[in-house]
Amino acid sequence: MKIGAPKEIFAGENRVAMTPNSAKALQKLGYQCLIETGAGAGARFSDQDYKDAGVEVVKTAAALWKAADIVVKVRPLNSAAEEKRVRKGQLVISFFYPAQNAEQLERMKDAGANYIAMDMVPRISRAQKMDALSSMANIAGYRAVIEASNNFGRFFTGQVTAAGKVPPARVLVVGAGVAGLAAIGAATSLGAMTFAFDVRPEVAEQIESMGAEFVYLDFEETQQDGAATGGYAAPSSPEFREKQLEKFRELAPSMDIVITTALIPGRDAPKLWTKDMVEAMKPGSVIVDLAAERGGNCDLTVPDEKIETENGVTIIGYTDFPSRMAAQASELYATNIRHMMSDLTPEKDGNPVQNMEDDVIRGATVTFDGAVTFPPPPPKIRAIAAAKPKLPEKTAEEKAADAAAKARAQGRQQIGLLVVGGLLMLLIGVYAPASFMQHFIVFALAVFVGFQVIWGVAHSLHTPLMAVTNAISGIIILGALLQLGNSSVLVVILAAVSVLIASINIVGGFMVTRRMLQMFQKS
């Protein structure tokens, strides 16, 4: 079958749903790839790049829609002309937002299209490779910091120079989802003093591990405001919201940059940064509102525009952050598409199988065989496995009895080994000379004692222990070298074996020690 990617007609959209790299992977699945001429220009992919990857370049969108059995896009169908090109049985894959586009959903049903919405991919472990929302949010979070730094006009990192001391920028990230964590990582790496807030207290550890400071609220509900179904934050109560806004008013005068990321798909963005908070910020401060597409988290945000308030605060309300990094965004989105096609093509024969029993495919499918399949049923596979039943804790008497039984078993095992070793020595002593037996008894005792010592060492210490035993191996190899000139052939053979084994231990010990030291060296 043929899979094609038309040029995006949404104003300012530079991304493309198929890149030369993803096309090569799709061809391995058995598909013939088509691209509309100029479709990748905004992401710096030329028609020649596609031709070199084995992709057929089609002159017009109409010709591509007519030839392709599967059409992949970034944005939802954006015009009546695009919708009219959809034919019965054609598979279309793109963002769709079915909850907000109920009328278009009905039109796709009437057209007989099998439509997969990339924004509806369920958030389960197996579907992470197809999670286009997370891929784009990651880019948006990073780009938000870059836009903020471009408009901030000062260093992010603190500096001490002969001309004076420059304090680090103070950055507040509201919302610690994928976009928020990406923003935290970028701001921290630039040297800013980063603060972050989220209604889910369980993300505090993630935030602090990235070098940021989690903003806590003195409010009991934070202990129960977990993630809602699908991995997004649950809506907060009015009492919690008031406490949250109170905390933000306290922080506003001291923050240089505020990045808001609070948005749940299908809902309007909650207002978290009010007009009075903007008025309390210092001149030159910057607010980047990643929720501008759904009204914005800031009261003064203007979608798709950058404005400056009367008190000199810049508010950025762009809605195309991923498109501003079109090459990277296209590669990630095209990879999400390629993974979706891989699941749809289990035989790798170029024939998609839309298995509606598959949680991922069923969850992302919004129309199928002339019927609307949105909303999907809950995934059969839970994101978090049920906890194993906890066994009742043993009493102190039971623990002592178990320890005693274990000690008795170890004692019986050691006695057994000693008995077997003694019988073996007696058997050897019948035939071996007395001089040999003296050395052999010392050897056997050394092996037994060494085994008991090593066996009691924790497994995590075995590697450093190997490096420490180089000294013991040196003593062994020295003694063996002295015995190589002995008149007894047996003694010479044993000495040679000892030299070999001790040499291996010494060389290995030094190699392990070197690798351990390299772990603590900066590259």
Residue-wise pLDDT for 311-359, tens only, equals 999 999 999 999 999 999 999 999 999 999 999 999 999 999 999 999 9
Mean pLDDT value of segment 230-246: 78
- What per-residue confidence (pLDDT) applies to 510? 75
Catalytic residue among 123, 241, 249, 294: 123
Catalytic residue among 31, 232, 318, 333: 232
- What per-residue confidence (pLDDT) applies to 467? 54
User: Is 131 tagged catalytic?
Assistant: yes
Query: Which residues face 287 on adjacent strands?
Result: 258, 315
User: Is 134 tagged catalytic?
Assistant: yes
Mean pLDDT value of segment 160-186: 92
At residue 424 the predicted structure's pLDDT band, cuts being 50, 70 and 90, is confident
Spatial CA neighbour of 20 closest among 58, 47, 50, 42: 50
Average pLDDT of every residue of the chain:
87
User: pTM surpassing 0.85?
Assistant: no
Angstrom distance (rounded) from CA 203 to CA 460:
30
User: Is 123 tagged catalytic?
Assistant: yes
- What per-residue confidence (pLDDT) applies to 132? 96
Name which residue leads in pLDDT, 421 or 278. 278
Select, from the ranges 307-311, 420-424, 494-498, the one with the highest average predicted confidence (pLDDT). 307-311
Task: Kindly report the number of other CB atoms within 10 A of residue 221's CB atom.
Answer: 14
Q: Give Cβ neighbours of residue 467 (< 8 Å, ≥ 6 apart).
A: 509, 510, 512, 513, 516
pLDDT > 90: what percent of the chain?
61
Query: Quick check: helix, strand or coil at residue 381?
Result: coil
- What per-residue confidence (pLDDT) applies to 498? 86
- Yes or no: say if 178 and 137 are a contact pair by the CB < 8 Å rule: yes
pLDDT at 225 over 50: no
At residue 222 the predicted structure's pLDDT band, cuts being 50, 70 and 90, is very low
Angstrom distance (rounded) from CA 166 to CA 168:
7
Name which residue leads in pLDDT, 159 or 275. 275
Choice among 85-89, 99-103, 230-234, 309-313 with the minimum mean pLDDT: 230-234
Mean pLDDT value of segment 457-468: 56
- Yes or no: say if 196 and 176 are a contact pair by the CB < 8 Å rule: yes
- What per-residue confidence (pLDDT) applies to 466? 58
Catalytic residue among 128, 224, 452, 488: 128
Query: Quick check: helix, strand or coil at residue 306?
Result: strand
Q: Which residue has the tokens 């990879």?
A: 335
pLDDT at 216 over 80: yes
Catalytic residue among 22, 85, 94, 131: 131
Catalytic residue among 22, 94, 134, 149: 134
Mean pLDDT value of segment 366-392: 73
